[in-house]
Amino acid sequence: MPPAFSVVIQAGGESRRMGQDKGLMPFLGRPLVERVARRLQALADEMLITTNNPEAYAFLGLPCIPDRLPGRGALGGLYTALSAASGETVAVVACDMPFVSAGLLEYARGLLLSTPADLVIPRTEGGMEPFHAVYRREVCLPLIEAALQAGLRRADAWFGQVRLRYLTAEEIAAHDPHGLAFLNVNTPEELQQAEQTALTITE
Architecture category of domain 5-197 in CATH: Alpha-Beta Complex (3.90)
**pLDDT, tens only, 51-91:** 999 999 999 999 999 999 888 889 999 999 999 999 999 99
Do 118 and 203 form a contact (C-beta atoms < 8 A)? Answer: no
Report the interhelical angle of 102-114 vs 32-40 (nearest 10°).
50
The pLDDT of residue 14 is: 56
- Identify the band that residue 133 occupies on the pLDDT scale cut at 50, 70 and 90: very high
Sorted by where each begins, the domain ranges of the chain are: 5-197
The pLDDT of residue 72 is: 87
What is 10-66 written as a DSSP string? E-----TTTSS-GGGSEETTEEHHHHHHHHHTTT-SEEEEE-S-GGGGGGG-S-EE-
Do 73 and 80 form a contact (C-beta atoms < 8 A)? Answer: no
